[in-house]
Structure 1
Amino acid sequence: MLKINFAKFSSLILLLALTIVFNFTACCSYSFTGASVPKHLNTIAIPIADDKSGSAEIGLRESLTQKLIQKFIDDNSLQVADRVNADAILECTIVSFNDAPAIVAAGENVTSRRITIGVRASYRDLVKKITVYDKTFSSYEDYPQGGSLSDRNNAIEKVLDKLTEDILLETVSGW
């Protein structure tokens, strides 16, 4: 019959676990903070967004810019600064704005509308003089057909929230 020395067995398991943990931490410099902004970047400028969507949606570019700045303030990975003192710059242009039927029921009755907004964001490292990314982000939100102006505005705000979150994440962890 096989006899197991539990003291030696548990010591062996503990040694194996410590070896695995040591090897993982020694070979992998993984950050659990979620952000991987290079150390030479501390500040970011976020100028007012351009609106080239042709929508003439009042306050859209200001709302996008304010939400984006607030996301960076809340995230605290990069401090928001003016362009002259910034290590990086994030320039945004609203390239599309669409308010169209989303759900059409029987008899071609529109029951829901969809707001879709596209934003081109260009993020540049001013210290190393490189463009980190230049890409278009898009998001949408539905609201009820025949709903109030408030329903439509809430849909726009939700789209802007999603877009600014995507832009923030790409900026602070897309390295």
Structure 2
Amino acid sequence: MDCNKLRTFVLLFLMFFAVSGCFRYSFTGTSIPENVNSIYIPFFADQSNSGVSNLSDILNQALIERFINQSRLTLANSRGNADAVLEGSIRRYTNQAFSLSGNQQTSRNEVEISVQATYKYTDKEQAEWSSSFNGSATYDTNEDPIEGETDAAREALSQVADNMFNDAVSGW
């Protein structure tokens, strides 16, 4: 075979495998076992004693949005109907000075949130992982401090949800 015929043969061979589905690529970057089609995400209890309302709701909504919108999984309404379960609790919440202005007054605060979570396929005994996830965000204390703290908490929980989603669906 000459060089052109060999290239043509190799190209056709590769195209055949690509079209036949032997090479599988996911544009979302997720790697979920084929037999896993649904996930159950029970309420993440807030055990942080933060005094900030609805942290659990914010986290649960962020997790549900990621798993439903960024993967092929559907949301199960119970553990018995699910192929995977993601559960845990909000363990720690801190809100402390991040930077000081010239007159030794706080100009920015940082909210840090720690969540303990476990991800498990229901057909397996052992969990895929059980880890602590952390998120943080800062806000300006000179503007609306209550709304600023709430927005910072939302951003920190968004980071936590991103990291949990990535750990649950990555094949690494």
TM bucket, shorter chain: 0.7 to 0.9
Q: Are residues 56 and 152 of structure 1, via their aligned partners in 2, closer, same or farther at CA, if it must alter by over 3 Å?
A: closer
Q: Offset of 1:135 from its aligned partner?
A: 0.5
Match of 1:159 in 2: 156
Aligned length: 164
Give the number of the structure whose alpha-carbon radius of gyration is greater. Answer: 1
CA distance 1:99–1:17, change in 2 (3 Å): farther
Corresponding residue of 1:65? 60
Question: What is the rounded CA distance, in whole Å, between the counterparts of 2:171 and 2:132 in structure 1?
Answer: 14
Q: Answer whether contact 2:30 2:71 (CA < 8 A) is retained.
A: no
Residue 174 of structure 1, CA deviation: 4.3
Q: 1:139/1:77 Cα in 2 relative to 1: closer, same or farther (>3 Å)?
A: same
Q: CA deviation at 1:112?
A: 0.7
What secondary structure, in the 3-state scheme, does the structure 1 residue paired with 2:128 have? strand
Paired residues of 1:35 and 1:77 also in contact (CA < 8 A): no
Q: Distance in 1 between matches of 2:165 and 2:53?
A: 24
SS in 2 for 1:77: coil
For 2:63 and 2:26, the matched residues in 1 are separated by 23
What is the RMSD computed on CA atoms of the aligned residues?
A: 2.7
Residue by residue over 1:19-70, the C-alpha shift from the partner in whole angstroms, topping out at 9 and shown as x without a partner, is: 9x68xx7xx9563431111112111100000122121321111221122112
Q: Does 1:130 align with 2:121?
A: no
1:64 alignment partner, SS class:
helix
Report the TM-score, using the length of structure 2 for normalisation. Answer: 0.82
Query: 2:32 matched to which residue of 1?
Result: 37
Note the C-alpha offset of 1:167.
1.0
Match for 2:169: what amino acid?
A: V
How far has the Cα of 1:105 moved from its partner?
A: 3.7
Partner amino acid for 2:160?
Answer: L
| Aligned 8 A contact 2:141 2:148 in 1 | no
- Unaligned 5+ segments in structure 2 are none
Identity, in percent, stands at 26
Aligned to 1:94: 90
Is 1:144 aligned with 2:140? yes
Asked if structure 2 preserves the Cα contact closer than 8 Å seen for 1:141 and 1:156, the reply is: yes
The 2-side partners of 1:127 and 1:15 are apart by: 46
Matched AA of 2:96: A
The Cα shift of 1:18 comes to 3.6
Looking at structure 2, the residues matched to 54 and 17 of structure 1 have their Cα atoms a distance apart, in angstroms, of 63
Q: TM-score, normalised by structure 1?
A: 0.80
Residues 12 and 103 (structure 1 numbering): CA distance in 2 closer, same or farther, change over 3 Å?
Answer: farther
Q: Which amino acid aligns with 1:158?
A: E
Matched position secondary structure for 1:31: coil
Distance (whole Å) between structure 1 residues aligned to residue 111 and residue 38 of structure 2: 32
